Amino acid sequence: MSTQNSEGCRPNHDRIPFSVGAGEYKTAWNNVAESREHAFELVDESTNEEQIDASGAHHARYLVDGLDLNAKDIVLEVGCGVARLGKHVAPHVKEWWGLDVSERMAEIARDRCAHLPNVHLLAGSGSDLSALASQSFDKVYCHAVLIHMDKEDVYSYLVEVGRVLKPGGLFYFDVWNICHPVGWLRWQVERKLYATRSHRPPHRNQFSSPDEVRAMLAHTNLEVVQLAESVYVQTVATVVPEGRDAATYVAARRDQMPDRLALLKYGDGDAAGFAAVLSSRLLEFGIQPEL
């Protein structure tokens, strides 16, 4: 006798409660951005405008130099939040576009960038870039965003960025690296945070691996230019122009800018900083950090 029902391995949706879907990100992040202070805190633990401005100026420098963002570039940030980075990237580029799932984040970002005429902000669905035309951006970046969603939606964004990026353009993104000791430590914190909850929130941190990133990219039109295995899996990818041999093109692209690309990688000092904060967090929970 077969134990399978007529649907094979498909679940019975009437009986099984739904987990998160793209719509839940919007509610969660709009709630996070109910006040500026709360938005700042959740974006990067800043407590006020001066702090977030300083952190944005510091981190934007790495993106500007690392991706060679310049006055000819039309640039997109996916998951721009309050434009912590965008406010400091926009003055270097022709146009800066910020997309976020949260209308409220986009509103705060609009207000913070009101003095910058080349800034465009929009709210998206949470899993696509359908408002944006194909092959319209020279550079795209996405920092600390894909870590907050299910893998289905991560992959949807990778496909979408492959669509909106111009051939030869560059795309930087990062996801937590569970294969790095500090990534593992971060995961222990996340497990502990939600251990006793019956529902895990849709904006929680999620974790990945270098192989998983490579596997996903292999099913897009993006080719890896650099994949750094730090606390994050930090990837720079490109779309190979039609008619060019992928391996030769990517190698040449990499060789054009080795010093710039190196700037985008977190170093041992950054990992040690993360480790110290995470270890004390785990100790607060009564857990001995595994390092």
Tokens encoding 23? 């719509």
Residue number, nearest CB to ligand SAM: 81
How far apart (Å, rounded) are the C-alpha atoms in residues 184 and 186?
A: 5
CB of 175 to ligand SAM, least distance (A): 12
Distance CA 58, CA 68 (A): 16
Q: Which is nearer to ligand SAM, 85 or 237 (CB)?
A: 85
Closest CB to ligand SAM among residues 83, 250: 83
| Apex 227 CA angle, 226 and 232, nearest 5 | 140
Of the candidates 120, 179, 35, 269, the one whose C-alpha atom is nearest the C-alpha of residue 43 is 35
Q: Which is nearer to ligand SAM, 100 or 107 (CB)?
A: 100
102 vs 124: CA distance, rounded Å: 8
Give the shortest CB-149-to-ligand SAM separation in angstroms: 5
Q: Which is nearer to ligand SAM, 98 or 289 (CB)?
A: 98
**Residue count of the chain:** 291
Which residues in this chain contact ligand SAM in the complex, by CB under 6 A? 25, 29, 43-44, 79-81, 84-85, 100-102, 105, 124, 126-127, 143-145, 148-149, 153
Q: Least CB distance from residue 77 to ligand SAM, whole Å?
A: 6
The helix/strand/coil state of 233 is strand
Residue 43 or 90: which CB sits closer to ligand SAM?
43
How far apart are the C-alpha atoms of 99 and 282, rounded to whole Å? 34
- Residue 81 CB, shortest distance to ligand SAM, in Å, is 3
Q: How far is the CB of 257 from ligand SAM (least distance, A)?
A: 22
